[in-house]
Amino acid sequence: MTLTSEGGSPRRTPRSEEPAVWRMLQRVQVRAARLLEADLLTAHDLALASYDVLTRLAETPDGRLRMNDLADQALLSRSGLTRLIDRLQRDGLVEREACTSDARGLYAVLTAAGRTRLAEATPTYLRSLRARFLGVLDDDELRQCATTLTKLLPPPP
């Protein structure tokens, strides 16, 4: 990584707005996460990370995902996911199931109770998201936001 401007997308010259943008992004994310979690917690006794994991599982055709993949999607370390699945399993929302093709592997599987709980919580989640966070953006801004965030996602893999 040189300091000369040799083509490519990443800029090298400092721009004064960058720290401000980063600060705002942090604030917005932390604030939204706290509000969302508070709503989910009071209404459904469900932490945000738990809701996220249940959602990822539900998006899968058969409601199951390898622990490793789930950890990546949930932005959790492998040990972190182990504990989270422990809690969800204790609450009967998911189960662990052995992987036949790889004896090391485990699936986290959504239970019927898990599906029900997720279905109950989703309206709260969507409403909260809209009412306390993204509602202030019009459709254009929302789309703009989506494309910008997409660029930011895996910066230069």
Partner DNA sequence: TCTAAACCGGTGCGCGTGCATCCAAACAGG
Partner DNA sequence: CCTGTTTGGATGCACGCGCACCGGTTTAGA
The binding site for DNA (CB under 7 A) comprises 47, 49, 66-68, 71, 75-87, 96, 99, 102-107
Q: How far is CA 114 from CA 35, 50, 88, 94, 122, in A?
A: 23, 10, 9, 6, 12
Burial class (CB in 10 A: 0-12, 13-18, 19+), 118: buried
Among 7, 15, 101, 102, binds a second copy (CB under 8 A): 15
Using CB under 8 A as the binding rule, whether residue 38 contacts a second copy is answered as no
Give yes or no for a contact between 93 and 117, defined as CB atoms under 8 angstroms apart: yes
Phi first, then psi, for residue 132 (nearest 5°) are: -110, 5
Q: Which does 62 bind (CB under 5 to 8 A by kind): DNA, a second copy, none?
A: none
Q: Which does 157 bind (CB under 5 to 8 A by kind): DNA, a second copy, none?
A: none
Contact window for a second copy (CB under 8 A) among 12-20, 39-47, 82-90, 109-117: 12-20
Q: Which does 44 bind (CB under 5 to 8 A by kind): a second copy, DNA, none?
A: none
Give yes or no for a contact between 47 and 37, defined as CB atoms under 8 angstroms apart: yes
Q: Which does 105 bind (CB under 5 to 8 A by kind): a second copy, DNA, none?
A: DNA
Encoded tokens for 1: 């990584």
Residue type present at position 37: E
Using CB under 8 A as the binding rule, whether residue 33 contacts a second copy is answered as yes
Using CB under 8 A as the binding rule, whether residue 119 contacts a second copy is answered as no
Give yes or no for a contact between 124 and 40, defined as CB atoms under 8 angstroms apart: yes
Kindly state the number of chain residues that form the binding site for a second copy, as judged by CB under 8 A. Answer: 51
Among 5, 21, 83, 105, binds a second copy (CB under 8 A): 21
